[in-house]
Amino acid sequence: MTKDTAIKLFNDRKIRTHWDDDQEKWYFSIVDVVGVLSESVDPQAYWRKLKQRLKVEGNETVTNCHGLKMPAPDGKMRLTDVADTEQLFRLIQSVPSPKAEPFKLWLARVGRERIDEVEDPEIGIDRLMETYLRKGYTKEWINQRLKSIEIRKELTDEWENRGIKKGGEFAILTDEITNAWSGFTTKQYKEYKSLRKENLRDHMTNLELVLNMLAEASTTEISKGKEPKTFLENKAVAREGGNVARAARIKLESTTGKKVVSKLNAKKLNSKELKGEE
């Protein structure tokens, strides 16, 4: 998941969010917020009834709310009602809940954090490092992970320059790279690590991260040199980049006698294993 579309946590409850660069504001999934405040077993139904009542009352906030596609529980992007911070403050008044005031404070903090990060990107990096440290990752692994994010951004910028569309086309090219260097499609790789919707890179060992970075960095450089014009040409470049890392993996495995791609995931890793030691 990117900075633009992310999951924010309020008391360990997930709130889907989207950052709009043009308007410089957050949008929040209303049904997620309603679910947190109302503690309803069916937040969708609760929001439908509340929305209908507010419309009858002539509530302008509801009228001005619009929909955005966000990740649904089934993993697909589905249209959901969203509201910006100002609209949410007004909607919260309509949901009787002891969590209303704490949620308002959380909402204000989330908005402030993003503005701070735009003005000083290092703040965002520091927060990300704190998040990984709380999850038990070592500093060595975190440094690799942060570098992998930088390399990934350089690759996606290059893809955008070549006219590749975010979402489906990005996923296909990523799959091509992953399959080339690791021998697994992204889906197979996640299944191998017993993952479902989790971010694959967050469950890689140091060695896996390094080879994945090599594959993506190589793809970026090859693309800049060859300047592919079509999607198929970009796909071929992605495989070439992945093959660079594949050669490195095979050489390393033949030298050490150990497989690089590991079944370990973050749920099973201890500090030694996070460094790639089994």
Shared domain check, 106 and 13: yes
Percent over 90 (pLDDT), the chain? 41
Shared domain check, 56 and 177: no
Shared domain check, 182 and 64: no
When divided into structural domains, the chain yields a total of 2
Decide if pLDDT at 95 tops 90: no
Q: What's residue 202's pLDDT?
A: 87
Task: Tell me the mean pLDDT in the region 6-10.
Answer: 76
Decide if pLDDT at 274 tops 50: no
Residues in CB range of 67: below 8 A, 6 or more apart: 79, 80, 81, 82
Give the residue numbers spanning the domain of 186.
Answer: 136-275
Shared domain check, 210 and 160: yes
Note the pLDDT tens digit of each residue in 150-180. 899 999 999 999 999 888 899 999 999 999 9
Shared domain check, 203 and 145: yes
The more confident residue out of 221 and 201 is: 221
Shared domain check, 246 and 173: yes
Q: What's residue 126's pLDDT?
A: 63
- Average pLDDT score, the chain: 84
Shared domain check, 267 and 141: yes
Last residue of a domain, one of 119, 146, 164: 119
In this structure, is residue 163 part of a structural domain? yes
Q: What's residue 276's pLDDT?
A: 44
In this structure, is residue 127 part of a structural domain? no
Shared domain check, 113 and 38: yes
Shared domain check, 270 and 175: yes
Q: What's residue 109's pLDDT?
A: 72
Last residue of a domain, one of 119, 154, 179: 119
The more confident residue out of 110 and 127 is: 110
Residues in CB range of 42: below 8 A, 6 or more apart: none
In this structure, is residue 131 part of a structural domain? no
In this structure, is residue 154 part of a structural domain? yes
In this structure, is residue 125 part of a structural domain? no
Task: Tell me the mean pLDDT in the region 5-15.
Answer: 77
Task: Tell me the mean pLDDT in the region 194-219.
Answer: 90
Shared domain check, 149 and 262: yes
In this structure, is residue 130 part of a structural domain? no
In this structure, is residue 234 part of a structural domain? yes
The residues pairing with 26 across neighbouring beta strands, listed in sequence order, are: 19
Give the burial class of 275: count Cβ atoms within 10 A of its Cβ; 0-12 exposed, 13-18 middle, 19 or more buried.
Answer: middle
What does the block give as tokens for 143?
A: 């440094």
Alpha-carbon dihedral of residues 189, 192, 196, 197, nearest 10 degrees? -30
Q: What's residue 253's pLDDT?
A: 96
Shared domain check, 54 and 162: no
Q: How is residue 197 annotated by DSSP?
A: S
In this structure, is residue 244 part of a structural domain? yes
Last residue of a domain, one of 62, 91, 119: 119
Rounded CA separation 163/141 (Å): 33
Shared domain check, 151 and 107: no
Alpha-carbon dihedral of residues 69, 70, 73, 74, nearest 10 degrees? 50
The 10 Å Cβ neighbour count of residue 246 is: 20
Among residues 135, 87, 78, the alpha carbon closest in space to that of 111 is found at 87
Biggest CA–CA distance in the chain, Å, is: 72
